[in-house]
Amino acid sequence: MPQIRKIIFFTSLALLALTFTFGTALIFGSPEFGWDGWQYVSSGKSILTGTMPENYFWVRQPLWPLLLAVPIHFGANIWSIVLLSCFLVSLGWVVFVLTVRRHIAPELSAKLYWLCASIPAIGLWFYLGGYVMTPLQQAALVGYLMLLTSLCIKTFSVGLRSDSIQRRTVYVSAWFVITAAGYLLTTAYGAIAVVSAFVVGVLGLSESRGSKTKVITLFLPSALIVLGSFVGLLVSHVAWSSVVENATTSENFNEENLQDPFWEIDYLGNIKKRVDERTTYYAQEVFVSIFSLLDVTQSRGWRGIDNNPFRDDEVNINFAIGSRPFTDVAPVCSEPRPWIFSQSTPDAMPALTKILTVDPQFISDFKDSPQCKLTGYTLPQWFSLLGWVFWILLLSSAIFDLIRRPTRLKIALYAPPILLILVYGITGGAIARYGIPAYYPIALMGALAWINLFTRRRKQSHQDAANFDSVT
């Protein structure tokens, strides 16, 4: 009976979250397409039609196009993709808030906890939720990072201490699956999952406090979890590399893929070059990137990587770009011309823009479907500034709380968000959309820090009053 109640509660909460996210998207959202969005649509449809060598864009990892293939199969309509994106965000959010409730804030009253969980979710949704209005994989990444963070919390709290072989097998399998899924979304997320598993394992071992018995007891599950995560990365990499190799040797392979500038970018080589030749300048760029990823400063596109054809030092994007499709500056209808891409500056994009476009005939049914707002309701532009102030307050509170009281459990929670920001900061990403998956875990901890401070002060004032009464 308790299990049934849990399932009913989980399902009800997920449906409530989905109703809110998809409902606000229908009311305020305006679909927007970019060249990379059309690439994902083309890649997703190519999976359905068995034409991946011709129409798949091979610099894209396969999991998001595979997920896109589901709504594309049921109809060429942007709103089916929006529904998928809202579902992924809602699922990740529900799992995360329930995990935090059980393992981090079990003593907080239900009323205060759900206030903490809901207000940041609503605020950040209007601030950044406009990303669901595109075919980009940002929504999938948001949901994924919350699932990964939840797994870190559960593993540290329960998995490492379990004596059950069956339960240990479940946790090792979970790390295998989530790492493989992360890699198949984007390579960086696979690496983040592996390092997160390592961090959780080290945190578990550090709790032994010099006891040889505890070290031996915790070493095996820690090692197995890290091994399971690494094997997940290795297996997914080998499997995907095999698919890519088979496609590139196919007689139907679209060889223009080979001209894509992201096909052979050597990230590690470029970082090494920057460190060797311009250490101070590179450190400055990483610093700028991290602040841009956290939306503390304005986004600046891709920076910090030499020989990057997409680098544009003149790019200066406003704060909260994710909220744009919800505001009154968004177009009423998205112009469906995926085969045209205009350059902002002559050197900003490669001259051969043709390699970045899709075959308009292949996606003709999708590009000709309605891509317009459904209502006349919009949010004012100042709403973005309000959301930005709200985010900065929560971010500051979370950072201050982590520095003041850095428990192992908090570090396990913060591992994926921090690693995400560091990975993209070090490789030169300085645009907020790559950082947004980290926002909600940070925001919830910031909100909990405010509530804990308020409740402590309230308890202290009541205690002082009681002491005063007893004296008088």
CA distance linking residue 449 with residue 116, whole number of Å: 10
Kindly list the distances between the CA atom of residue 466 and the CA atoms of 196, 406, 459, in Å, as whole numbers in the listed order: 46, 32, 10
pLDDT of residue 139: 92
Q: What is the mean pLDDT of the chain?
A: 83
pLDDT tier, 466 (very low <50, low <70, confident <90, very high otherwise) = very low
Q: Which among 56, 65, 126 has a CA at the least distance from the CA of 384?
A: 126
**E strand or H helix that includes residue 404:** helix 382-404
pLDDT tier, 38 (very low <50, low <70, confident <90, very high otherwise) = confident
Average pLDDT over residues 339-343: 47
Q: Is the pLDDT of residue 55 over 70?
A: yes
pLDDT tier, 437 (very low <50, low <70, confident <90, very high otherwise) = very high
Which range is least confidently modeled, 241-255, 282-296, 448-462? 448-462
Contact assessment for residue 412 and residue 156, using Cβ atoms and an 8 Å cutoff: yes
CA distance linking residue 49 with residue 252, whole number of Å: 14
CA distance linking residue 201 with residue 227, whole number of Å: 11
Q: Is the pLDDT of residue 214 over 70?
A: no
pLDDT of residue 302: 65
Q: Between these two residues, 465 and 43, which has the higher pLDDT value?
A: 43
pLDDT tier, 464 (very low <50, low <70, confident <90, very high otherwise) = very low
pLDDT of residue 208: 66
Average pLDDT over residues 216-235: 92
162: phi then psi, degrees, rounded to nearest 5: -75, 135
Q: Is the pLDDT of residue 459 over 80?
A: no
Q: Between these two residues, 313 and 215, which has the higher pLDDT value?
A: 215
pLDDT tier, 351 (very low <50, low <70, confident <90, very high otherwise) = very low
Please report which residue ranges of 1-106 form alpha helices under DSSP H.
Answer: 2-28, 35-49, 52-55, 63-74, 78-103
pTM: 0.90
Tokens 């559960």 correspond to: 154
Q: Which two tokens stand for residue 391?
A: 């985010």
Average pLDDT over residues 47-66: 92
pLDDT tens by residue, 254-309: 887 777 767 766 666 766 776 676 666 777 778 888 988 998 887 776 655 544 44
Q: Which among 202, 185, 194 has a CA at the least distance from the CA of 229?
A: 194
Q: Is the pLDDT of residue 346 over 80?
A: no
Q: Which residues contact 242 (CB under 8 A, 6 or more apart)?
A: none
pLDDT of residue 161: 81
CA distance linking residue 45 with residue 36, whole number of Å: 14
Average pLDDT over residues 46-59: 91
Q: Between these two residues, 336 and 48, which has the higher pLDDT value?
A: 48
Domain extents in the chain? 2-333+376-471
Q: Is the pLDDT of residue 431 over 90?
A: no
Q: Is the pLDDT of residue 410 over 80?
A: yes
Q: Between these two residues, 59 and 442, which has the higher pLDDT value?
A: 442
What share of the chain has pLDDT > 90, as a percent? 47
CA distance linking residue 364 with residue 369, whole number of Å: 9
pLDDT tens by residue, 74-129: 887 889 999 999 999 999 999 999 999 999 999 999 999 999 999 999 999 988 88
CB atoms closer than 10 angstroms to residue 49: 12
Q: Is the pLDDT of residue 347 over 70?
A: no
pLDDT of residue 261: 67
Q: Which residues contact 78 (CB under 8 A, 6 or more apart)?
A: 31, 33, 133, 135, 334, 369, 370, 371
CA distance linking residue 184 with residue 129, whole number of Å: 23
pLDDT tens by residue, 148-168: 999 999 999 998 887 788 888
CA distance linking residue 126 with residue 430, whole number of Å: 22
pLDDT of residue 94: 97
Kindly list the distances between the CA atom of residue 89 and the CA atoms of 39, 66, 132, 326, in Å, as whole numbers in the listed order: 22, 17, 9, 17
The helix/strand/coil state of 333 is: strand
Q: Is the pLDDT of residue 224 over 50?
A: yes
Q: Which two tokens stand for residue 63?
A: 């999991």
pLDDT tier, 1 (very low <50, low <70, confident <90, very high otherwise) = low
pLDDT tier, 336 (very low <50, low <70, confident <90, very high otherwise) = low
pLDDT of residue 313: 46
Q: Which among 238, 137, 235, 229 has a CA at the least distance from the CA of 179?
A: 229
Contact assessment for residue 52 and residue 112, using Cβ atoms and an 8 Å cutoff: no
CA distance linking residue 300 with residue 255, whole number of Å: 31
Q: Between these two residues, 152 and 361, which has the higher pLDDT value?
A: 152
CA distance linking residue 355 with residue 409, whole number of Å: 46
CA distance linking residue 29 with residue 374, whole number of Å: 8
